Amino acid sequence: MRRRKFLKKSGLSTAGLLSAPVLASCNTKSNATVAQTTSSSTKPIVICTWNFMNASAKAWEVLENEGSALDAVETGVKVEEADINNQTVGIGGRPDREGRVTLDACIMDKDANCGAVLCMENIAHPISVARKVMEETPHVMLAGLGAELFAYEQGFEKTNLLTEQSKKEWEEWKKTSKYETIINIENHDTIGMLAIDANGDIAGGCTTSGMGYKMAGRVGDSPIIGAGLFVDNEIGGATATGVGEEVVRTVGSFLIVELMRQGKSPQEACEEGVKRIMKKNEGRKDFQIGFIAVNKKGETGGYCVHPGFTYREYSENGHENKAVESFYQGG
């Protein structure tokens, strides 16, 4: 778009776009507004899990320049993959128990084409390798060494993903070797992103280093089409963050898209998705999951298990860090 038109309409300057309130830290509820389903005719929009402002801004840049939703999500999530200070995605991610950083990612386009890499080492941009799997192979998923070798074939460079910081923390962790997920200050914080472009087409991408100090070889929901991400261009898309094992058990993102197909709003569908998970986990409070969704009209919604999860939305109306309602109210 027509950046000028966008800026005029929203009354925001470029500087304003990137200024104070939106720089809230990833997991705080401060200056987040409670998500409401918003109605609009289909216009470009991007949403992502958590308050990944730079990633969503980058994706929005692609959309406003009339790029495809697919390019937008790939470009957007790459920002987090490249950020060494983000210890839950890409380079700098926390390693598994053996000290290896293994990455998971998947991508899905408007034609239900999809690609994924699982448990891949030494490559800084798993989302781009996932896209290559989608576009250059007859397969959907490549795992481990196979994914890594394919990446080299495609021209990706070998990169050491274990930063000094993550190594230091892992060495500290080894002293107790206690494996637990800490809600919202997680050793996990996937970026899942959904976008609609100027043609009204939807795409999604999801990328993570998975749970910190996971068992070697562990794969969560994030690279699993239907679990961590699902897009149906007729209906909408959904993506997840949180304890992947629980998302896989309900095929969470597919479920949410199917609920939207049955007439639920993105908000209602995300709520139902979390409730299904909690039904299988009655009384359990030791994990977080957050879902976000967008439908074909560009309406969005999100819901989570515990307070604290937010999602960032970018559209011609500006951008916002949206707090979502949760299954538990705290405590």
Task: Please enumerate, by residue number, every residue annotated as part of a binding site for substrate.
Answer: 218-221, 241-244
Specify the residue, 122 or 253, whose C-beta has the smaller distance to ligand ASP. Answer: 253
190 catalytic? Reply is yes
Catalytic residue (one of 49, 190, 207, 300): 190
Cβ of residue 88: shortest distance to ligand ASP, in angstroms? 6
Kindly state the smallest distance separating residue 80's Cβ from ligand ASP, in Å. Answer: 12
Q: Collapsing DSSP states into helix, strand and coil, what is residue 50?
A: strand
- Toward ligand ASP, which CB reaches closer, 186 or 316? 186
Task: Give the torsion sign (CA, 331, 303, 213, 215).
Answer: positive
Distances (CA, A) of 71 to 64, 190, 202, 262, 269: 12, 19, 11, 29, 26
Shortest Å, Cβ 289 to ligand ASP: 8
Contacts of 231 (CB under 8 A, 6+ apart): 108, 109, 110, 112, 194, 202, 203, 204, 237, 257
Whichever of 6 and 254 has its CB closer to ligand ASP, that residue is 254
Give the SS3 label for residue 141. Answer: strand
Contact 205, 175 (CB under 8 A): no
Write down the least CB distance from residue 220 to ligand ASP, Å: 3
Q: Which residues bind ligand ASP (CB under 6 A)?
A: 186, 188-190, 208, 210-211, 220-222, 241-244
* CA nearest to 107, candidates 98, 115, 99, 119: 115
80 or 316, CB closer to ligand ASP? 80
> Cβ(77)–Cβ(128) under 8 Å?
no
What amino acid positions are annotated as catalytic residues?
A: 190
